[in-house]
Amino acid sequence: MTRLSRLMLAAGFILGFVRLTAADSMNMSGDMKKEILSSYVKVSAALAADDLAAAKKAAADVAGHAKMSSGYKAIAPKADTVAKATKIDAAREAFKSLSAAVEPLAKGEKGYVVMNCPMASADWVQTSKDVKNPYYGKSMLSCGAPKEMK
């Protein structure tokens, strides 16, 4: 085998590996987006149900998924803040920041609805069209409406 042939063969292997790695990275990024959204919706539902323990667990899951993909790392500290909250009011306040970071992931995704609570001056994402307000929980569960996208 000539030196040029070996060089071409090596280049082919390297390019093939790079393409596979890039494809895996894109799949992982898409999978992480789904995992983040799925776990985030659990945080929202738990806060709507006034369940701090479940909200903290789901927020820790969001943080874990976000840390696994460089494109979503900025979400992790926001989710960690919710996960470390010791009171539900603190978790709800931190959830505002988490929601602002996650909302762009949900835009255009089938099955996700962005809601707005005018009293909390905040948005959130959920999968149901029935309002389940995470900022006020059971005390004002149906406060809010789908957000009008501009």
pLDDT value of residue 13: 56
Nearest alpha-carbon partner for 47 in 148, 147, 122: 122
Residue 65 within a domain: yes
Whether residue 9 is contained in a domain is answered as no
Looking at the 3D structure of the chain, how many domains does it have? 1
Structural domain contains residue 11? no
Give per-residue pLDDT as tens, 41-96. Answer: 999 999 999 999 999 999 999 999 999 998 999 999 999 999 999 999 999 999 99
* pTM reported for the whole predicted model: 0.80
Question: Which is nearest to 60 in space by CA: 90, 32, 81, 38?
Answer: 81
Phi and psi, residue 122, nearest 5°: -150, 155
Task: Say yes or no to pLDDT of 130 above 60.
Answer: yes
Domain boundaries, position 106: 26-146
